Amino acid sequence: MRLSLIAALLLGALLALTNCRTTSERSKQTGGPADATAQRFEPTPENMRRVIAAVKHLHKPMGAPLPGDWLTTSPEPGQTFDEYLQSNPTKPVGERRVLYVQPLGDFTPARRRVVTLAADYMSRFFNLPVRVREDMPLKDVPRDMQRRHPDWGDRQVRAGYVTMKLLLPTLPSDAAALIAFTSTDLYPDETMNFVFGQASLSERVGVWSLYRLGDPDASEADFSQTLVRTLKIATHETGHMFSIPHCTKYECVMSGSNSLSETDRRPIDLCPECMAKICWATGTDPRERYARLAAFCTERGLIAERRFFEDSLRALEKS
């Protein structure tokens, strides 16, 4: 999840169909906020501090980084929930409450399924509706914005061109963010080998690649592994779009990662502090969020992940 600096950080926050590529473009909508109830939990700062206290025992503090890990190469201070509140973060406001997913290029059937499931998961994770747009062909990327890696020969697309030239001009007016998925490898600039994903904090556009996340067509086990990796990277990058920096206090899906092995060591969800940021920013009841995510994991047979969400829900119900 090495991110490239575009304006202030590397990833931005996450616009309806006003500026879509054509008026005939169809969008598929998935999920959305849970229905309000008579006694709805209000994610005020005070309430979220209580939630943090109730679930923190389920989370592992960040340990000493291994050689080559993110924190050995990119020391960062992290950010508490209270520091986030004071930072004037980007969040869904007014009509800007839709997450748009833009498929870019060709996908195998299994990779297409991964994108569809990731869209569903993101809706439950962020408590926002997600709309999947019609495919954008890779030929829209000019030849001088593509390359063959000088050592490996892999075809790669320049990530910044996708975000600034393909996504930004088509950003819908009701979008919290517009995110592209591609099966093609990405590179940020000529000095780097590749990047998992890249986005703009200020412009609310981002792109990430499934290229290095495994072969979901190989077997059900490979499909599940690729799916979990995709869920982690998709929610991590989208979290940056809500002004959440890398987490350094806990093992967290928002923790930085230099490699796939480091990504695999990260949990699938947010730590207590980062979870509070998202719930506060999106007006989400954390209990409903945990229940939705547990249901997703049950549907997909993700047993360990389901147990974590169920344990988190029980901890809140006891508090």
Catalytic site positions: 237
Q: What residues contact 256, with CB distance under 8 A and at least 6 apart? A: 1, 70, 71, 74, 76, 246
- Which residue type, as a one-letter code, is found at position 51? V
- Give kind and range of the element (H or E) at residue 221: helix 220-241
In contact, 198 and 11? CB cutoff 8 Å: yes
In contact, 271 and 250? CB cutoff 8 Å: yes
Q: Which two tokens stand for residue 287?
A: 């209990």
Q: How far apart are CA 100 and CA 69, in angstroms?
A: 31
In contact, 277 and 81? CB cutoff 8 Å: yes
In contact, 127 and 284? CB cutoff 8 Å: yes
Q: How far apart are CA 187 and CA 146, in angstroms?
A: 9
The label of the residue with tokens 């679930």 reads 55
Three-state DSSP class for residue 177? strand
Q: Is 77 exposed, middle or buried (0-12, 13-18, 19+ CB in 10 A)?
A: exposed
